[in-house]
Structure 1
Amino acid sequence: MAIRTTLGTLLAGAALAIAGNAGWAADHTLVISSWAPPTHNINAKMWPKFIEMIEEATDGRVTAEVKLGLAEAPAQMDLVMDGAADVSIIFHGYQPGRFVTTKMIELPGYVGTSEAAAVAYWRAYEAHLKQANEHRGVKVIALHSHGGAQLQSAAPVTSLDQMAGMKVRIPGGVATDLGAALGMIGIQVPAPKVYETLASKAADGVVIPIESRAGFKLTEVAQNMYMLPGGLYRGSFAYIMSEEAFAALPADIQAALEEKVFGEPLSRAIGAIWEQGDAEGIALTEATPGNAIHHASPEDAARFDEIAGTIRAKVIEEVAATGVDAQAAYDMIRAEMAAW
């Protein structure tokens, strides 16, 4: 088990530690494994927010430190299950076949902010999706999605028709189905490698959230962004924790974390950060010389919605095959977000 009883900051080789308040020693320090670049909002804002919340909820008895470079993004869940880290963030699309119900939040067409989506996602998980038990072996402590992903490329794209034949980095999950429906030639590359993939011309573009323009420096290698209302899809993430690490904490600390941090509170907080990141990505794009945003025409938006409808029907059927009431989960997410 990776849980520690002293607080410290580690910087060695490829591993970076971001710790909480170094002015005191917490009773328990959780080890967080993270795979995004240090400047990405996952590390710059989301993990610090998590640490702030657990410290506040436990009166400083629990804190955490973030380490980078422990494993690639697709290996994070196994890393936590093996006890090499206590907490991590996973992107469900990186593990094809392992997760199905998580595609429900990825569907195009949801209207609302990333904060609203995160709250709706958690509530639908509690009511329906958790029955599939797809995260067995770890404790799910938050669920969220990034904002609507957009096509970002070096050459300008101004219509759906131009996407056909493009070699595009697509992360998996619902995005793969949409890419195929739009005629893209999809390649799967983890998000931390999108810069080098574009810089080397190994891909013509990437489908990725707007906030990545800052976090992954895409304004340097993907100067153009094609904007569809609501985006092509929303990527699904989970914060997960080692069941053994949680069980090792005193009962009163467990209760405080469950009441004040885990679940909807943490999901909401992380969703708000994703939303802020998208706004910053748009502002950076508009302020960077040589960058441009190309908005989809009403005709292209309507055509995309027709394509998205077939994807939604396919995914709802796929999720239903797991035994989950997929239609109820979809309707719940839509209703929750519409009521925000």
Structure 2
Amino acid sequence: MYLTTTEEATEGRVDVVIENFTGHPKSIFDAVEDGVYDAGFSVNAYIPGRFSLTGVAEIPGEISGAESGSVALWKTYEEYFADAGEYDGLKLLGLFVHGPGQLHAKFSVNDLSDFEGKKVRLGGGMVNVLAERLHVTPVGAPAPKSYEMMQQGVVDATFLPVQEQKFFRLSELSSDLVLFPKGLYTTAMSIIMNEDFFADLSEEDQAAIMSVSGEKLSRLAGAAWGAADDAGILEAKEKGVNVVFLSPGDKLVQDMNKLTAGIDDIWMESVADRDVDAKAALAAFRKHVAEETK
């Protein structure tokens, strides 16, 4: 949709061509910055330390949907993070999060103790703090490696949005899909463009691209992830996966909430060197999420 909208906004002067990227997703940022590609998107946590501010959207228990989280992140970025310099060398077009990350496992969970000692694939970011508190053995790897790692027994589970039951075919390997009301975490991602490419465009085309970017693009990306999660649940049910829908009052959820308490403070401490009002930014993010989920 965004590709078509971009071409329409520029009246066909900017043509968008999708190319398959075969390297590690973390290198997309450098590839765009160096002009190997004109634009791209990737996971912020794949480059630890560079995009720490967007970790505000990765704190467990903050969002219940990808669209609301994506819009809230973009608004918070514009209000508090834009001048912090994390995107120096890149033209930021949009920010989004995937749907709440859930547990895709080859084991059942009835108590937090069932996590202990299990090997779990993680993508990085604030979820690492949760993993430490759950006493799991974290195995860092990009999301697309999940199927291979579960199939080969390298990991017992992966934390990912529900859509991956279908798109990464995790329904073939998972015995259980455990859905927490607000997930276990989420992941912030950036849509970026090469600065020189953007600067070489006419002012008219620059304005046209930005008219369909920013909050609009962030909302569009978040909504797409949310719809894909619905398809993931259907796929899991069709393949016979034990889909567990937890409620806020369930003991497992309440115990998880206690376990994650204070991770927001850890995020604020992690961005203390960024010269932003992290406490105010977190409050703004929560306000925007609440507004978007009414």
For Structure 1 versus Structure 2, the TM-score category normalised by the shorter chain is over 0.9
Note if 1:331 corresponds to 2:283: yes
In the aligned structure 2, how far is the partner of 1:313 from the partner of 1:136? 26
The count of corresponding residues between Structure 1 and Structure 2 is 290
Structure 2 portions without partners, runs of 5+ = none
**Among 265, 268, 271, the residue aligned to 2:222:** 271
**Residue aligning to 1:9:** none
In the aligned structure 2, how far is the partner of 1:79 from the partner of 1:222? 34
In the aligned structure 1, how far is the partner of 2:64 from the partner of 2:54? 18
The Cα of 1:70 is off from its aligned counterpart by 4.3
Instruction: List per-residue Cα deviations over 1:216-260 (Å, max 9, x = no partner).
Output: 1100112311221110111000000000111111111111111x2
**Residue aligning to 1:229:** 181
The Cα of 1:102 is off from its aligned counterpart by 1.5
Whether the 8 Å contact between 1:158 and 1:226 is mirrored in structure 2 is no
Whether the 8 Å contact between 1:112 and 1:338 is mirrored in structure 2 is no
The structure with the greater share of residues assigned to helix is 2
The Cα of 1:98 is off from its aligned counterpart by 2.1
Instruction: List per-residue Cα deviations over 1:58-115 (Å, max 9, x = no partner).
Output: 1222121111134220100001111110011110111122221111011112244211
Secondary structure at 2:92 match in 1: strand
Please give the root-mean-square deviation of Cα atoms over the aligned residues, in Å: 1.4
User: Within 5 Å, which residues of 2 pair with 1:124-139?
Assistant: 124-139=76-91
In the aligned structure 2, how far is the partner of 1:152 from the partner of 1:112? 18
- Runs of 4+ in structure 1 over 6 Å off: none
**Residue aligning to 2:168:** 216
**Among 59, 64, 72, the residue aligned to 2:11:** 59
Task: Kindly provide the amino acid, as one letter, of the partner of residue 285 in structure 1.
Answer: A
User: Within 5 Å, which residues of 2 pair with 1:104-183?
Assistant: 104-183=56-135
Task: Kindly provide the amino acid, as one letter, of the partner of residue 169 in structure 1.
Answer: R
In the aligned structure 2, how far is the partner of 1:246 from the partner of 1:228? 41
Deviates more, 1:174-183 or 1:96-105: 96-105
User: Within 5 Å, which residues of 2 pair with 1:41-60?
Assistant: 49-60=1-12
Whether the 8 Å contact between 2:6 and 2:14 is mirrored in structure 1 is yes
Whether the 8 Å contact between 2:95 and 2:214 is mirrored in structure 1 is yes
In the aligned structure 2, how far is the partner of 1:156 from the partner of 1:170? 19
**Residue aligning to 1:28:** none
Whether the 8 Å contact between 2:57 and 2:188 is mirrored in structure 1 is yes
Secondary structure at 1:128 match in 2: helix
In the aligned structure 2, how far is the partner of 1:69 from the partner of 1:319? 31
The structure with the greater share of residues assigned to strand is 1
Secondary structure at 1:144 match in 2: strand
In the aligned structure 1, how far is the partner of 2:235 from the partner of 2:110? 20
**Residue aligning to 1:318:** 270
The TM-score normalised by the length of structure 1 is 0.82
User: Within 5 Å, which residues of 2 pair with 1:169-318?
Assistant: 169-258=121-210, 260-289=211-240, 291-296=241-246, 298-318=250-270
In the aligned structure 1, how far is the partner of 2:50 from the partner of 2:290? 30
